[in-house]
A and B are shown apart, each in its own frame.
Chain A
Amino acid sequence: MQAAGLGESTAAWEPVLPWLIILLPLLGFAINGALALSAARKSADAVRAGGEFDFFENGRPRTHSLPTWVGPGVMLLAFLLTLVNFAGMLGADLHEPVVLSYWSWISTGELEVAAAIQLDQLSMIMMLIITGVGLLIHVFSVGYMRDDPGYPRYFAYLNLFIFFMLVLVMGASYPIMFIGWEGVGLCSYLLIGFWFSDEAKASAGKKAFIVNRIGDLGFLLAIFLLYLVFQRVDFVGIFGDAESVFEYGGSVITWVTLFLLMAATGKSAQIPLYVWLPDAMAGPTPVSALIHAATMVTAGVYLVARSSVLFALAPLSSAMVAGIGVLTALFAATIALKQNDIKKVLAYSTISQLGYMFLGVGVGAYTAGIFHLMTHAFFKALLFLGAGAVIHSMHHALHHTKKDWDAQDMRNMGGLKAYMPYTWITMWLATVAIAGIWPFAGFFSKDGIIWMTGAMAGAEQAPYAGLYTVYWILALATAMLTAFYMTRLMVMTFHGENRTGSREAEHLHEAPRIMWIPLAVLAVLSVFGGWINVSTDLRESILGGFGLLPMGEWLHGWLEPVTEAAHLIQETNLGEIAHAAPIFGGGEWVWGLISFVAASAVVLATLRLLGSRKVTVAVDDAEPTGLARFLYNKWYVDEFYHRWVVDPILTTSRVLWRVVDTTIIDGTVHLVGNGTRALGWVVSLFQTGQVNTYAFILTVGVLVILSMVAF
């Protein structure tokens, strides 16, 4: 454990049972998993005896009532414990990470990896988000998944996911982080294919897993390279020595960071590996909220922020992070414009927002990136959960009359605000937050990123100043697109006339309390969550009520010990960043005001325009044409990948299978196998069962040995 600060005395801080935070979800997994197994056994027995099995036939069995308490219960305890530790860390003036090492995990020659966790300001923020938002989503799931036969299995997976996610953010070295990284991937796969009897859903799970694998290769290569250079893989050791070992902008550090970036693009669904995320919407909606919006997909951003020292030393990689981020943001936003599936819109919106976070950490604004990660966790989780409530309700309504319409297609919705007022209000709050309307959370976090991009363009010795100016303009433009497609989603879902059908509409209903209470909590966070990181410039302007509103730059100060080193490297090499926009000048609050006004205008205009437009239900709707069709089909990227990546691989594989494998390799293996067995049979012929034979062979053996030593 390290506690020595530089020059100043540091209040000693003892974390309270940090390992228990990780173990609690694992315990939940064990209990729920056992329940799931016992339930599966029961149904398998029933099926074997011939016949269908209905878990809810004779009331709710224990296997389906206990997870309600266990699943959210362990999350509540983990969240409370995290809060206790957070309070402790707040009280302590911590300058160095606290590393707690439990046992030696890998110990081979020069490589020593301890099973250690690292507690610092960054991991603490992530833990708060994971356990906090995770708790709310667990609670929501109780309502959403109640009637599913796989209820205990669902909670087992969800708990396991939290366990791995905590390992990911609390690990004190890259290999430990990698365990979490792979573990969350596994859980994501299991949960996307949760309803695995539906083939499309099962293959969506596979797609996510395989695409992520490509990124993971990058992660491994990065770890290997780092080990090669440092002979160690823990964060404290690597980041401490990085500056002296690597030359600024040198080739090794650039490769390391590019490999890390490759890993991050897989997990965080960025160009070119984003394609799995829209398909991942096949999973239950709370899963989309937790894994594919609030936590797991942000792991890439966390990875870059955690490795900030390395990225700061590699300006080329950083510029690529930012470039990929802003392009993804723009690209995904254009696709979201024309999607009709409510979850698809949110999926592309998530990709787009993740792009913003990448832009943030790419321009060296690590705090801004993490800040957006946090606010996004609030409002995007809220949007997904709201969408879940809508789908839940639509599903019930359609189910009543056995209408085979798509419960997720917004063209079949409309006017839902009359039936689901709480959901409607809370989702509007999240929408204005993501659209960047003052004073909601998204405004401050997104503005922070855009502003820092502009500032980077104006830095004294910025290497790619022109590029950063382009990034800045694209980021501003994307914000407008965001405002449009989100408003479109709200209009199509909640406003106008109901299109579900008159008989079905009778069964539309507000979500039960256990589902909208998490929505309400998230709504509060979406409104005020942005106030914890408002720069002095903004706070003292009109946007901060001239300093009267309770806002502050708390998060920036909080993360300072983690990001300090990277910022110093940047300042040394790039000089002071600018305090005015790259074109037209103007300070931060001016541009904040401009983007606020513009976004508001877009929201209002969209409301007016689309509010009066008639929408045709899905079954009667014509195929889109022209540019709309291009966007509707998602720029044909999936088709492109299929034609140029998947198909060639399949063809090659087929050849390899037919010729190389079946004929050559299998043939050889069979020959060897049969030969072995034949030889075994021959040798076993000596095994006659006669003692005199055995004694004879024994004697021969003795003679051979004696002759060996004699000659």
Chain B
Amino acid sequence: MELDFSNQAHFIVALAPEIILSVWGIAILLIGVSRPDGPRTSSDLGWLSVLGILVAALANGWLYSVTEVGTDSMIALDRFALFSNWILLSGAALAVLISLSYVQRQGLQAAEFYALLIYSTVGLMIMAAARDLIVIFLGLEIMSIAVYVLAAINRRDPRSAEAGLKYFLLGAFSTGFFLYGIALLYGATGSTHISAIADSIASGNAHGALLVFGIALLTVGFAFKVSAVPFHMWTPDVYEGAPTPVTAYMSVAVKAGAFLAFLRVFAVAFEGAYESWWAILWWLSVLTMVVANFIATVQVSIKRMLAYSGIAHAGYLMVAIVAANETASAGLLFYLLTYTLMNIGAFAIVILVSGQGEDRLQIEEYAGFGWSQPLLGVVFTVLLLSLAGFPGTGGFMAKVFLLQGAMEANLVYLSVVLVLTTVASYWYYLRVAWYMWMRDAPPDVAGEPIQVPFAMRLALITSVVLIVYLGIFPGATLELARSSVSGLSAVGPGLIGLGP
């Protein structure tokens, strides 16, 4: 089917997944109001949300049969957007699955929780598909506001409230830069549409100074959302304070959405201005990889450790944007998918272990965990190995593809930093595994069984199976990713090899 916007119905077709999710979110809110609070309602709403996400995913699959004409529309319906939706929807679905028991346990308002989660996913999908900076901003705000509330949703817990406030204050601050960047770009090129910006740069009509300052400020906005050093300061605090499933969701879906928009804008709109931005991203990437991995090694709380690990992964991913070629971009999509699966899985284990009062969050408290819960122990070990990038797991292949892209772009030093920091990251990932298997549990907690609810089990099995699958048979997924980025007006091989 070919899109034809003279037919009003085709607008709905083009936005089917987003519309479905939005309506679903409203429905969940309404159902939540009409039913008494209680664990039963909570769990029903959770499963309903999963269903909604699956319906949206079906719609997304169906959209593969729809072709758009031209690249003038403000929201794209290309392979890249569809692949992005896979990543975001799987992140959202897994996040809901690992939230089910948590929301019940902590007595959170289920309807609001799931509705906000779905709204923020809609925002992310719009961001990833947007071809206009204003629309990206719109998606960014839809997502951000929902996530600010989600971070603070456990009102009875001061840590959660603090996290929400911090995230909001700093988020608002950085949004200012982002918006200012859009304004400057409009001033430089006379448009906010990325193709128009690209044309303007290519034809040499863009105003030089305004353009580079605009790009720089946009970089700051994205760097904040993907938590690149030095714009990462909020991350550990917010990740630690927010309810753990929200942290999980933020660490994967929000980051993924930001990266997807990041890639589209820089690869399409700023293709012609590569000279002026690659060095900024090069340094941000190096700084992020090095600093995050360093700090992660001294963390004692597992949530903070995973927060810094998330920052480190943002550093690796930025390598792909610097490389700016097809291999690296496909690698970025593959990486985001893998990262979504493995990070959600790791947070799921953290939720399971932390228990009712959220008090078991120290890495030391994992001592002997592997032997008392062998199955969970093995699952967690696989997830940690994948995060570290161990051969045989999806995390390894993802890094391999990134490196391949970086080497094609001749980014030798960046590749070396990536490899070295990856090696350093083994220390803090494997330290958890070491506690799990090599240390005896303290006598008072030994043998205390952990019940794994069905939804959690589903999420864990899905993520581990897919991670191993992606690690051993990455071919098909990579092919899909490759065909998804080839539609972008993706940039030729990166221009320059070494840092300034």
Binding site for B on A (CB under 8 A): 41, 103-104, 107, 673, 676-677, 679-681, 683-684, 686-687, 689, 691, 693-695, 697-698, 700-702, 705-706, 708-710
Contacts and interface: CB of A to CB of B under 8 A. Distances in A.
B12 interface: no
A638 to B, nearest CB: 36
Most buried by A among B220, B276, B283, B473: B220
A706 B170 contact: no
Nearest to A678: B298
A708 B475 contact: no
Interface in B422-477: 424, 427, 473, 475
Most chain A CB within 10 A, of B177, B215, B294, is at: B294
Contacts of B177: 702
B490 interface: no
Nearest to B277: A709
Interface in B264-315: 276-277, 279-280, 283, 291, 294-298
B213 interface: yes
A104 B475 contact: yes
Interface string B198-236: 000000000000001101110110011000001101101
B294 A683 contact: yes
Given A681-B298, A701-B220, 17 more contacts: A676-B297, A683-B294, A686-B233, A687-B233, A687-B295, A689-B237, A693-B233, A694-B233, A695-B169, A698-B173, A698-B224, A698-B233, A701-B231, A706-B213, A706-B217, A709-B276, A710-B213
Contacts of A701: 220, 223, 230-231
Contacts of B296: 680
Interface of B: 165-166, 169-170, 173-174, 177, 212-213, 215-217, 219-220, 223-224, 230-231, 233-234, 236-237, 276-277, 279-280, 283, 291, 294-298, 374, 424, 427, 473, 475
Contacts of A689: 237
Contacts of B283: 708
A709 B212 contact: yes
A689 B235 CA distance: 11
A702 B228 CA distance: 12
Contact of B215 (A686, A691, A709): A709
A683 B295 contact: yes
Contact of A698 (B174, B215, B279, B295): B174
A622 to B, nearest CB: 52
Nearest to A687: B236
Closest 9 A-B residue pairs measured CB to CB? A694-B233, A680-B294, A701-B230, A680-B298, A709-B212, A680-B295, A709-B216, A684-B295, A705-B216
A691 B166 contact: yes
Contacts of B170: 691, 694-695, 698
A676 B427 CA distance: 11
18 contacts: A41-B374, A680-B297, A683-B294, A683-B295, A687-B237, A691-B169, A691-B170, A694-B233, A694-B234, A695-B169, A695-B173, A698-B230, A698-B231, A701-B223, A701-B230, A702-B217, A706-B217, A708-B216
Contacts of A104: 475
Contacts of B233: 686-687, 693-694, 697-698
Nearest to A702: B220
Contacts of A107: 475
A681 B297 CA distance: 9
Contacts of B279: 708
B230 A700 contact: yes
B106 to A, nearest CB: 23
Contacts of B220: 701-702, 705
A697 B212 contact: no
Contacts of B217: 702, 706
Contacts of B173: 695, 698
A684 B296 CA distance: 9
A104 B166 CA distance: 50
Contacts of A706: 213, 216-217
Contacts of B374: 41
B477 to A, nearest CB: 14
Contacts of B174: 698
A700 B297 CA distance: 25
A103 B217 CA distance: 48
B475 to A, nearest CB: 7
A700 B229 CA distance: 12
A677 B297 contact: yes
Contacts of A680: 294-298
Contact of A676 (B166, B169, B231, B424): B424
A532 B223 CA distance: 76
A691 B230 CA distance: 14
A708 B212 CA distance: 10
Contacts of A677: 297-298
Contacts of A705: 216, 219-220, 280
Nearest to B500: A708
A708 B374 CA distance: 52
B291 A683 contact: yes
A431 to B, nearest CB: 49
A683 B173 CA distance: 23
B215 A697 contact: no
A709 B231 CA distance: 18
Contacts of B216: 705-706, 708-709
A702 to B, nearest CB: 5
Which of A676, A691, A695 gathers the greatest number of chain B CB atoms within 10 Å?
A: A691
B100 to A, nearest CB: 29
Contacts of B473: 103
Contacts of A698: 170, 173-174, 224, 230-231, 233
Nearest to A37: B374
A698 B427 CA distance: 29
Contacts of B230: 697-698, 700-701
Contact of A684 (B166, B276, B298): B298
Contacts of B165: 691
A673 B424 CA distance: 9
B168 to A, nearest CB: 10
For A683, A689, A698, A705, which residue has the most chain B Cβ atoms within 10 angstroms? A705
B213 A673 contact: no
A109 B280 CA distance: 32
Nearest to B374: A41
Contacts of A673: 427
A710 B427 CA distance: 39
Contacts of A676: 294, 297, 424
A701 B222 CA distance: 13
Nearest to B400: A108
A681 B219 CA distance: 28
A695 B230 CA distance: 10
A710 B212 CA distance: 8
Given A680-B298, A693-B233, A700-B230, A709 B291 contact: no
Nearest to B298: A680
Nearest to A688: B233
A340 B23 CA distance: 85
A710 B214 CA distance: 12
A710 B279 CA distance: 13
Contacts of B237: 687, 689
A708 B280 contact: yes
B316 to A, nearest CB: 18
A141 B283 CA distance: 65
Contacts of B297: 676-677, 680
Contacts of B427: 673
A679 B219 contact: no
Contacts of B276: 709
A463 B230 CA distance: 75
Nearest to B294: A680
A559 B280 CA distance: 67
B415 to A, nearest CB: 17
Contacts of B280: 705, 708-709
B304 to A, nearest CB: 9
A331 to B, nearest CB: 42
Contacts of B224: 698
